[in-house]
Structure 1
């Protein structure tokens, strides 16, 4: 996802914090990665959101909050593939969501994943929650390096088997597509019956995992389904938001609150077992929040939502906390979810294979130089692409002559095999000055043609290392963004 994996310029990103000195007897850290699902940049109160998230905020205060933290895709499955492999998913063809093809596709088994690498270093590895990157033999979590698994293999499921009299659901276009029969819960490879609210159940499994760990260091990947649709909440969390009249806003706030409670319970379990100080906790979302939940979520102050190549789709809440080693602060330069693999592997005492992208953040956070060198991030979504470099963000996106109703887009996948191609109408080339215009409201491409040309050149050089998609996009649609009708592929 970027050209210079060692990124010497990250040495400049030290302003507000540094690494604490490591004790000479420093043990290898436990590692916990908490991944929210469709949580928007503006959905946590630490980022100015309107939904109270005191536990996520406390995690941010205990560590580093990245204000420009990016993921590798604007939708679920490709983003997860990039995070766990440490390589942009376009390097191995997992470019789009595998709509209708979950049973037979996943990142190639030749791609080493974080759990397998850490397992080879002596770590116990456990996963709880949403997988969404393969169900066939060879692609299951237990086949990709995890010792244990509990969760949903698909893109989501219902949060409650049945709605009680004080529970509530808010209907969206995709609501009827979810069911426990279609998308069951697994323990290992076996389907299990699960009662209670799903977010609570995933938290309970994660707490149990860390509470019984001892001896070897562990890696826990806690991948919540919240607050992804279906919008469904239990009485416990709804009671906190009965004052909100709009049902979509009320249920969504309750779902985010349940996620926040889960983070708090897991951190407390680490504290109660004496493991907190030497546990690196990473918290982020897989992409921005969606445009089809009737305004219930927020990516403010960013433009765009899930599935869009603007920052609202790819810039997310992103926190790293490690009390033994990392002093609290705010980090304002761009980082990527690709940085997670090299950071945790090298903290665990391993070496990162040269084909892995991203950087180990920890040495650069220790540095004292303020020299700034360019670090360029890239995204490809069919013919659409994004380049982020220093103050600039380049968005190249297909033009369209129509704009569809967002409410109906999720339930209308296009036929398999329809290629993602440059529009006959051409493409918009949009350049944003992220220092002057972090919300990406003003296109300044006409004022800086040399910047546009250079960023396009860099993209072409990076794109030469990608492969064709292994399957086509079944989510091809048009929508209006900032007064422009654009065609998207996810």
Structure 2
């Protein structure tokens, strides 16, 4: 029921048989561990964080009050990308370096389903769906990927003076930042973009933003519709601030998490401004959401209020998350929707919005064999 409702909301005003020239671009910004009340468009002044760019997105689109992600990073991202319950795909928890778990080639991803429809597909930032080569996004429908493969603070383990050196530590060390490209023969080219110690983490989201914009600009030049999945690091712990954001601590009543939200909002604003600059905002679906709820360790600023508990649990605070959708002329502006929707709804909804079949949910259950575009 939730799936059908959400699909109806987004495609009511759309002719689903649109030709390739009319296909909307799709930009999904998935933050990390951001709770329901971290955004000022949600908390309405209850907390001190301010997110004007994301608030503007809500003003120009639809804000969902009852959106359900998943209780953890891997599960939330897998549900979004596969449109299936993580327990069904096995993507409920991916551990640290060398974990063999990853998306099965039998499970079509949103990127693969959109690529079939002529989309250029790019993912930038956090992945957390496996760190072996077969697990990389460029083996699962993305043309290009740049980012890290774990929760953020896993990347700084090797910077700890007590981390084992040499061969002893290699099996436990995180893989460096990866930049990979899908190849025409179904393979991929993988480049090592170096480690991400605490110093690099200070501006890691600026790198995510720059890679996102670079990919979008290239697709606009080729006049090809794009699907971009942007995954900034904020607000996962441990947070390392650049001097610019460190200077904001203690001002405006802000602690660490308020500054985290300021940096996240700034980067969202840069990307949204780029869409305007390129003249493509009117034909771009923009989604802002989070992979799961916030952590209690960041209380009182973590954003699980007014719900119980935190990420990693199945209480409301663990997987109730913010979600905003903007699609000018298609999704009505300044609307607050309190119907129940979930991360499982993205695959069928976005595929339909791109001109794909409306009966995808039933066909998706059979994987590739049951779904032929």
Partner of 2:68: 70
Q: Is the 8 A contact 2:83 2:347 kept in 1?
A: yes
Which of 1 and 2 has higher RCO (CA within 8 Å, sep 6+)?
Answer: 2
Which residue, 2, 8, 27 being the options, matches 2:22?
Answer: 27
How big is each residue's C-alpha offset from its partner over 1:395-452, in whole Å with a ceiling of 9 and x where there is no partner? xxxxxxxxxxxxxxxxxxxxxxxxxxxxxxxxxxxxxxxxxxxxxxxxxxxxxxxxxx
Shift of 1:206: 1.1
Instruction: Summarize the alignment of residues 87-486 of structure 1 with structure 2, pairs less than 5 Å apart.
Output: 87-95=84-92, 97-100=93-96, 103-157=99-153, 182-188=174-180, 189-193=190-194, 195=200, 197-214=203-220, 215-243=223-251, 250-328=255-333, 329-351=335-357, 352=360, 354-356=362-364
Contact 2:131 2:175 in 1 (8 A): no
Deviation, 1:355, is 4.6
In the alignment, is the contact (CA less than 8 A) between 1:20 and 1:327 conserved in 2?
no
* Separation in structure 1 between the aligned mates of residue 50 and residue 239 of structure 2, nearest angstrom: 18
Indicate conservation of the 8 Å contact 1:22/1:325, yes or no. Answer: no
Aligned 1:72-87 pairs, distance under 5 A: 73-87=70-84
TM-score, scaled relative to structure 1: 0.62
- What runs of 5+ residues in structure 1 fail to find an aligned partner? 164-180, 358-490
Alignment correspondent of 1:47: 42
Closer/same/farther in 2, CA of residues 76 and 240 from structure 1, 3 Å limit: same
- Give structure 2 stretches of 5+ with no counterpart: 160-172, 181-189, 366-373
> Which has the larger helix fraction?
2
- CA–CA distance in 1 between the matches of 2:176 and 2:308? 35
The change in CA–CA distance for 1:160 and 1:289 in structure 2 (over 3 A counts) is: same
Q: Indicate the RMSD between aligned Cα atoms, in angstroms.
A: 2.8
The one-character-per-residue Cα deviations of 1:286-323 (angstroms, maximum 9, x if unpaired) are 01111223533121221221112111111101011011
Give the TM-score taking structure 2 as reference length. Answer: 0.80
Q: What's 2:184 paired with?
A: none
Q: Is the 8 A contact 1:115 1:219 kept in 2?
A: yes
**Alignment partners' CA distance in 2, 1:160 and 1:222:** 21
